[in-house]
Amino acid sequence: MAHILIVDDEPDFSSGMSEFLRLQEHTVVTANTLSAGRTALKKKLPDVLLLDLMLPDGNGLDLFDQFESRRPQKIVIITGHSGIKSLIGGMAGDGVVYMKKPIEPRELVGLIGQDGDSLDVSGEHEGAHFGVLVGDSGPMHSVYKQIKQVAATDSTVLVQGESGTGKELVADAVHRLSKRSGNFIPVNCGGLSKELVSSQLFGHEKGSFTGADKQHKGFFERANNGTLFLDEITEMPLEMQTHLLRVLETGKVLRVGASTELPVNARLVAATNRDPAQAVRDGVLREDLYFRLRVFPIQLPALRARGDDIELLANHFLAQLNSKHGTSKTLPKAALQSLLDHTWPGNVRELKHTVHRMYIMAEGDELAAPEHWDTELKSDIEGLSAGRSIADVEKDLIMATLRELNGDKKAAAASLGVSLKTLYNRLKDYGEDTESKET
């Protein structure tokens, strides 16, 4: 865990970035002026300094005068101006890196942790933590072992698991341990535009189609020398899966409107909450792509199969809330038992939201058990019998969630951890009415 100081005069950037970093268990202090930055530095020297150059009362580089014998382990100069690195040259000294706005939060987390000083990217355990993953059960230790085995290779990885089990966190852990110099680029295939998916993945040249007023780098190019994470891979259009397979086999992309392929060195991690073999049989996933992706499959366990990890995670999420809000709320035995008795169809995501709700509802320093559970959803899940297909199980989960949320599709998509587009696609497959019910 690192202590981070953000000196930036854009409140939306500072608040959003600080909230994200606190969720990664860092402590964060913000300052919106040069003067406030000086005051924060006098109070405590941060491990990491995020510094904007253009401040209301001066230039961010003036803060360097305050460093005497000691300075932050890493200084990240953040700017909206291109070419700033060449302009500053070596003025800022060693240990300084540059990032141009807008900044993807996970890119920043990866940058902070590249040298291992501020973030645990070594793959070693600190208590029950494995980087950003939390869990001490047997099934999770098996996952940690697989991550360490595959991270140092260039093999494609297919992460399988129910919604809410943390597939993106696994992909992120693989990237961090790989020591690849590029960025981690997460992409939800269910959210790709069918009309623009080629441009989004592979990029386009200026003038290649109406509205293409400039050259655009696709996700593969942005992930060059890094890792591209394709979530909900079964939601990718079949015709585009052919192009994806070619990129994986050749290591080259062809921008829309271009005549020459460009080499890319992007490591691919894909994920799905469906049975991929069943997806092949259903005709939504190409068989050749499936075998190309599953060079190294990682199966994430459901939360209900992780035993004491429920208590561990609940206290972990509560500790994050206490740290963020300066409180000291606790989880008494009765409230904990209610969590242990639940079946968690929404897995870790559901547990996190439940603890947050319990925290908000607590009238004192002790959390109380939820007044009610999603009983209809719970009973539907518990009534599933062995031998049914994953597709049927998924349909039951979707329909039960919609019933519980009175048909609110946006809320159902958020609860299920899928995009609204994916939910509509599923309902269309089921022959259900797809008219939106906004609440």
Q: What are the φ/ψ torsions at residue 271 (nearest 5 degrees)?
A: -145, 155
Do 133 and 267 belong together in one domain?
A: yes
Do 159 and 54 belong together in one domain?
A: no
Compute the average pLDDT of residues 220-245.
90
For residues 379 and 248, which has the higher predicted lDDT (pLDDT)? 248
Confidence bin at 25 (pLDDT 50/70/90): confident
CATH of the domain at 44: 3.40.50.2300
pLDDT at 36 over 60: yes
pLDDT at 439 over 60: no
CATH of the domain at 408: 1.10.10.60
117 in a domain, yes or no?
A: no
Q: What is the pLDDT of residue 10?
A: 83
Final residue in a domain of this structure, among 84, 112, 140: 112
Rounded Cα gap, residues 360 and 355, in angstroms: 9
pLDDT at 120 over 50: no
120 in a domain, yes or no?
A: no
Q: What is the pLDDT of residue 376?
A: 40
Do 334 and 386 belong together in one domain?
A: no
Compute the average pLDDT of residues 327-351.
92
439 in a domain, yes or no?
A: no
Nearest to 77 by CA among 63, 66, 67: 63
101 in a domain, yes or no?
A: yes
Confidence bin at 378 (pLDDT 50/70/90): very low
Give the amino acid at 50: L
Do 272 and 162 belong together in one domain?
A: yes
Q: What is the pLDDT of residue 115?
A: 40
Spell out the residues 6+ positions from residue 131 whose beta carbon is closer than 8 angstroms to its own: 119, 120, 121, 123, 172, 173, 176, 177
Angle, CA of 231, 274 and 218, to the nearest 5°: 20
Nearest to 106 by CA among 170, 172, 197, 50: 172
Cβ(157)–Cβ(296) under 8 Å?
yes
Do 192 and 98 belong together in one domain?
A: no
Identify the domain containing residue 19 by its residue range.
3-112
**Predicted confidence (pLDDT) per residue in 256-302, tens digit:** 888 888 999 999 999 999 999 999 999 999 999 999 998 999 999 99
Mean pLDDT of the chain: 81
**Predicted confidence (pLDDT) per residue in 199-230, tens digit:** 888 888 887 777 777 878 888 988 899 999 99
For residues 329 and 56, which has the higher predicted lDDT (pLDDT)? 329
123 in a domain, yes or no?
A: no
Q: Which of 113-117, 136-140, 253-257 has the lowest mean pLDDT?
A: 113-117
Compute the average pLDDT of residues 368-376.
67
Do 136 and 39 belong together in one domain?
A: no
Do 157 and 265 belong together in one domain?
A: yes
Do 76 and 34 belong together in one domain?
A: yes
- Token readout for 168 is 């993106």
**Predicted confidence (pLDDT) per residue in 82-111, tens digit:** 444 444 544 455 557 777 666 766 667 666
Q: With pLDDT > 90 as the criterion, what percentage of the chain qualifies?
A: 34
Q: Which of 88-97, 177-186, 233-242 has the lowest mean pLDDT?
A: 88-97
Confidence bin at 348 (pLDDT 50/70/90): very high
Residue with tokens 């015709």: 239
CATH of the domain at 212: 3.40.50.300
Do 150 and 294 belong together in one domain?
A: yes
CATH of the domain at 337: 1.10.8.60
Cβ(134)–Cβ(316) under 8 Å?
yes
Evaluated on CA atoms 81, 86, 92, 94, the torsion sign reads positive
Do 307 and 211 belong together in one domain?
A: no
Q: What is the pLDDT of residue 412?
A: 78
Angle between helices 309-325 and 11-23 (to 10 degrees): 150
437 in a domain, yes or no?
A: no
Do 243 and 278 belong together in one domain?
A: yes
pLDDT at 389 over 70: no
Q: With pLDDT > 70 as the criterion, what percentage of the chain qualifies?
A: 81
**Predicted confidence (pLDDT) per residue in 49-81, tens digit:** 888 877 788 778 788 777 765 778 788 887 655
Nearest to 8 by CA among 27, 23, 29: 29
Q: What is the pLDDT of residue 388?
A: 52
Q: Using only C-alpha atoms, what is the Rg of the chain?
A: 23
- Token readout for 334 is 């009765």
Rounded Cα gap, residues 354 and 340, in angstroms: 12
Q: What is the pLDDT of residue 101?
A: 67
pLDDT at 238 over 50: yes
For residues 230 and 435, which has the higher predicted lDDT (pLDDT)? 230
pLDDT at 254 over 90: no
87 in a domain, yes or no?
A: yes
pLDDT at 119 over 50: no
Do 150 and 269 belong together in one domain?
A: yes
Q: What is the pLDDT of residue 385?
A: 47
Final residue in a domain of this structure, among 326, 343, 373: 373
Q: What is the pLDDT of residue 286?
A: 94
Rounded Cα gap, residues 91 and 96, in angstroms: 10
How many separate domains does the chain show?
Answer: 4
**Predicted confidence (pLDDT) per residue in 391-424, tens digit:** 666 777 788 778 777 788 887 777 666 677 778 8
334 in a domain, yes or no?
A: yes
